[in-house]
Amino acid sequence: MKALVYHGAKKVSVDKVADPKLEKLTDVIIKLTTTNICGSDLHMYEGRTDVEKGKILGHENLGQVVEVGKAVDTVKKGDKVVLPFNIGCGFCANCERGLFGYCLTCADSSVMPGMAGAAYGFAAMGPYSGGQAQYLRVPYADFNCLQLPEDADEKERDYVMLSDIFPTGWHATRLACLEPGQSILIYGAGPVGLMAAMSARIQGASQIFVVDGEEDRLALAKQIGATTFDTKNADITGQIRELTNGAGADCGAECIGYQCTNNKGKEVPNLVMNSLVDAVKATGTIGVVGVFIPQDPGANDKLAKKGQIAFDLGKFWFKGQRMGTGQCNVKAYNRRLRDLIHYGKADPSIIISHELPLEEAPAAYEHFDQRDEGWTKVILHPNAA
């Protein structure tokens, strides 16, 4: 089959590789019809992780089941399914608690003591190949496959967002403890930040503030219903306080991660976290879904090399704020979010800017990595004729 393979920093290519095979009776094989390039793929593309050369990338995957293991009960050949980016077993202690993103069975604990969680095509998240390919092996298929309704083809561009960014945006609002009628401040108008804004709108936020430095992304945030702030403008915190009777936003969401930059394009790893502490009200809650990693050898900042930031803990503590962090447990949300799409209450495909065949993936990575204007979300069709 053809697959997008990582060969080193900013070196990816579409190669011929071996087809995946059933390895356990609980597996299925799917034929990928749509797979996305995610912002977190860029961390690996840029050489900022320890992902191994030869890895097939891609963790936002949707396709049709073509082969079924003998122990699979509910998933049938021909089913159209979308997969959570994180792989769970369904029966370990963490999966039983609903913490599917921290599966103990599928994790590769040799990478880091105490490690939990696995994902398709991702650094330090197990040996699993990604789905920027024509076919993909799905472990524990009864647990990991979300079957799609009869409008699966018609709304495929929406349903593929259930693999990661729509649930992750929703997760940001839940970590932030957003309640109907409250205001939320979202840093980042990339795909996840935009999905957090859409999620906040669905949940009845009174005010949705979105901060970013890219005009095309801020335009999408406005279309979703947010009040936007360009990082090039001074005193964003002051403007937000002015719009919230001096208090600050009720809660906040960090949707950028460790590679956040200032308005001059310089990486400042602690900038967004400390900005949220400043702009969220006393006793407010902050949800952090942007990727932070345990070490970043490519960083210029000494602390960031060790996965650390200079955090305003004193102000955070004195304001009595709370924080929730970590990757999304996709299965905690994806079934209900699927139904929001099915019944016309959510349209996450609004953010898609480019729809391409797999062969164009290397060029798409380059454009997306450079944050070229108009490149907000790229979806690929690996088996397009």
Q: For all residues of the chain together, what is the average pLDDT?
A: 95
| pLDDT band with cut points at 50, 70 and 90 for residue 295 | confident
Model pLDDT, residue 112: 66
pLDDT of residue 111: 65
In DSSP terms, which residues pair with 357 in a beta bridge?
381
| 183-215: pLDDT as tens digits | 999 999 999 999 999 999 999 999 999 999 999
Average pLDDT over residues 249-266: 91
Give the per-residue pLDDT at 349.
98
Q: 145 pLDDT exceeds 80?
A: yes
Q: Which of 326, 346, 350 is nearest to 336 (CA)?
A: 346
- Specify the pLDDT at position 334: 98
Over residues 343-371, the mean pLDDT reads 96
Report, as an integer, the average pLDDT of 71-84. Answer: 98
Domains of the chain as residue ranges with CATH: 2-164+329-381 (3.90.180.10), 165-325 (3.40.50.720)
What would the two tokens of residue 349 be? 């495909």
HSE-up of residue 43 (Cα within 13 Å, Cβ side): 23
Segment 99-138, tens digit of pLDDT: 999 999 999 876 667 789 999 999 889 999 999 999 999 9
- For CA atoms 153, 35, 327, 72, give the dihedral sign: positive
Predicted TM-score of the model (pTM): 0.95
Quote the DSSP letter at residue 371: T
Who wins on pLDDT, 125 or 301?
125
CB contact at 8 A, 368 and 375: yes
Is residue 65 over pLDDT 90? yes
User: What does the pLDDT read at residue 233?
Assistant: 82
CB 352 within 8 A of CB 2: no
Instruction: Tell whether the torsion through CA atoms of 375, 270, 195 and 361 is positive or negative.
Output: positive
What letter does residue 146 receive in the DSSP assignment?
E
Mean pLDDT of the 336-358 span: 97
Per-residue pLDDT band for 265 (boundaries 50, 70, 90) equals confident
Express each pLDDT in 11-28 by its tens digit: 999 999 999 999 999 999
Which residues does residue 286 pair with via DSSP β-bridges, in sequence order? 252, 323
Distance CA 169, CA 187 (A): 12
Max distance between CA atoms of the chain, in angstroms, equals 61
